Amino acid sequence: MIPRALAVIVAELLIGGCSARSAMLPAGTNGGRADTVHYVAVRGGRNLSRTSTWTDPSGATVVRTQSPPDTGAVVLTHLRFDPRSGAPVWLRTTGIDARGRAVEERFENVRGVASWESSPESGRGAAVAGAIYFPTAHAKWEAILPGLLRAAGPASFLPRGRAWIEREGTFVVSRGAGRQQVTQYAVRGFFPLASERVWLDESARLFADGEIVRAGWESVLPVLRDSAESASAADRQRYIRTLRHVPRRPVVIRNARLYDAHTKTVVEGATVVVRDSTIVAVGRDALVRAPAGAEVIDARGRMLLPGLWDMHSHDYGDLRGEMLQLAGGVTTIRDILRDTLRAVRLAQRPGDEVAFAPNVVWAGVIDGAGGPRTAATSDSAARLLVRRYAELGASQIKIYGRLQRRFVPVVVAEARRLGLRVGGHLAAGMNTEEAIRAGYDEISHIANVLANFRGDSVYFTGVASLWRGMQNAAALDMESDSVGDLIRMLETNDVAVDATLAFVEPSIRVRAFRVRPYIAPVLHRLPPGWGRGYVGWTMIEPDSMAEVAAAGFANLKKLVRMLHAAGVQVLPGTDEIGGFTLHRELELYAEAGIPAADVLYLATLGAARVMGMDATLGSLAVGKRADMILVDGDPLRTMSDIGRVILTMKGGALYDPALLYRALAVGPCCPRLGIPSTR
């Protein structure tokens, strides 16, 4: 290991090139340049980093970030810009970040041919005039603001995407006797829902972005954040008002290929009639008459399915996640990790937000001492938490990995008394057989089923637990008696498995420049800032683990198929980004060998039955709630088509996925159906 101080010196020397002089400057100096500006990053009342920017004698913009302040973690960026467009034509970043990792990034645009390289990804190709490079982690605003401010409209980004900037207003902030005029801008298309807002000074230089602010002006951050939240709230209301169409007449969907979840077959040439929020007729086109004055949608042979369920979601209350779920055809989500405070807060959501969101059922979490979750450290505390969750409307209790296993029977007994399901991670020191015998209704994550499979009494949680399960899976003979005994025990005790295969899958992508598998098919559709976050990420970094990860994941897929064949309920869930991840989850089930018709059942009627809601949800039948999706493709033949949703109906209200994606700055999956929008 290189000592940190030496590593910083090396990093500052390595920047090289035209800006060697400024790279050698001591911390906090800039060679006396008059244009130096200092910033601090503030979160939770703590200064996390200090950044200085200036122009060096060669004309390059220099950005120096030290994080935390007064430590050896220093990153230097040098930038040159096209004088006409303001877009970067050259960038070099090097240094040591706050986690002690080496940072190196290069970009250049020479006569319209751009090339870039960083630890997440590299690439090369023709760039349109004025294309703006989006850095992976450092000097983001310094790199993109000059080009955005000069662009007449949306600007093209590299490696991908488009974004634009809108002026929202000018006001004055004060600190003591000091006053500063700032202009607030929304950067739209950069992240979903224009979540990025920045404030510039009279010289159009960055003043703040909500987390970083001009040094000495930390006291005005609450004012800026309130202004951003007010603008974001106005955005949310606009989306809720315009993207949900509530028909005033009956709705008729004709000429559809209807997936019947009860028989797992397709009815050709089918019609469904919806009045208000209820299905009032289902049958062959020739046998179902459209009510007078109905709003008619011609499905043109596309597949009509019940709305999908995501059984392991954290999206409820997050408008971006909810919009992605609805755009992806997910009409019901199980919010799998609420504490009591979050449960109370979400119970108080405004009615218009609740109407806009997917249906929700939820689980209250019980953890042990030392964890970030709601903790139970005695029998009475465990019972009290279960009762409190029941009062707040939970359908389930989720056990987390720090809960001591002696409290599990207490939690289970109280939950049973109140009619709640129990599941989650294995409690501390508990193996899979003990969890089953203790009364778990389900186990979260397929890898957790094998994490303590060998009878370990070692405590694992989070990614460590998933990786332990992957290692055990790699070493197992899936045809062995021990695996067969485990499957029979799950089936006999009616214990379901919340598989989240797509969440585990990135663990086998250990090489650099790889995209998370559930994002790879849609990466080109994502906005530039957001898409960057899904490139180069893995659960397991060392390449030496690649063989174990690949073998383990292959066996986990086999286990999912074997569980389903044995009658163990598999619950399709994501634990990740809404919509897109569920599509990949269902693909993985089909790849594992589960028949496509069964896969669709698991994500519709099967999920509704597990939650005891199949009387009103899960299939397209008279008297049921009008939750359905229209797919431009045939997932029974090609499961990836499940992502080609062109119409979502939830409780009779219509959502146009193309419009939802557009509001999120995400490219559409397919041609629009032409659903009316609310005026």
Q: Average pLDDT for residues 338-342, to the nearest whole number?
A: 91
The answer on pLDDT for 546 being more than 60 is yes
**Main-chain dihedrals φ then ψ at residue 435, nearest 5 degrees:** -65, -40
Fill in the DSSP letter of residue 289. P
- Provide the pLDDT for residue 471: 83
% of residues, the chain, pLDDT over 70: 89
Name which residue leads in pLDDT, 473 or 460: 473
The answer on pLDDT for 518 being more than 90 is no
Name which residue leads in pLDDT, 542 or 18: 542
Looking at domain 248-307+618-679, its CATH class is mainly beta
Contact yes or no for 603/582 (Cβ under 8 A): yes
Q: Average pLDDT for residues 372-378, to the nearest whole number?
A: 83
The 3-class secondary structure across 592-642, one letter per residue, is HCCCHHHHHHHHHHHHHHHCCCCCCCCCCCCCCECCEEEECCCCCCCHHHH
Contact yes or no for 187/194 (Cβ under 8 A): yes
CATH of domain 308-617: 3.20.20.140
**What would the pLDDT profile of 114-132 be if each residue is shown by its tens digit?**
999 987 788 899 999 999 9
Of the spans 189-193, 204-208, 336-340, 502-506, which averages the highest pLDDT? Answer: 204-208
Tokens 């109140």 belong to residue: 418
**What would the pLDDT profile of 463-484 be if each residue is shown by its tens digit?**
677 777 888 888 889 999 999 9
At 543, the pLDDT band (50, 70, 90 cuts) reads low
**What would the pLDDT profile of 183-192 be if each residue is shown by its tens digit?**
999 998 877 6
Q: CATH 2.30.40.10 occupies which residues in the chain?
A: 248-307+618-679
The two tokens of residue 256 are 């559809």
**What would the pLDDT profile of 241-293 be if each residue is shown by its tens digit?**
999 999 999 999 999 999 999 999 999 999 999 999 999 999 999 999 999 99
Residue type, 118: S
Name which residue leads in pLDDT, 13 or 205: 205
**What would the pLDDT profile of 655-670 be if each residue is shown by its tens digit?**
999 999 998 889 999 9
% of residues, the chain, pLDDT over 90: 68
**What would the pLDDT profile of 567-587 be if each residue is shown by its tens digit?**
999 999 999 888 999 999 999
d(CA 150, CA 193): 22
Side-chain-facing half-sphere of 548: CA atoms under 13 Å? 15
Of the spans 68-72, 83-87, 189-193, 525-529, which averages the highest pLDDT? Answer: 83-87
Of the spans 152-156, 260-264, 367-371, 544-548, which averages the highest pLDDT? Answer: 260-264
Residue type, 8: V
At 63, the pLDDT band (50, 70, 90 cuts) reads very high
Q: Is 558 exposed, middle or buried (0-12, 13-18, 19+ CB in 10 A)?
A: middle
Q: CATH 3.20.20.140 occupies which residues in the chain?
A: 308-617
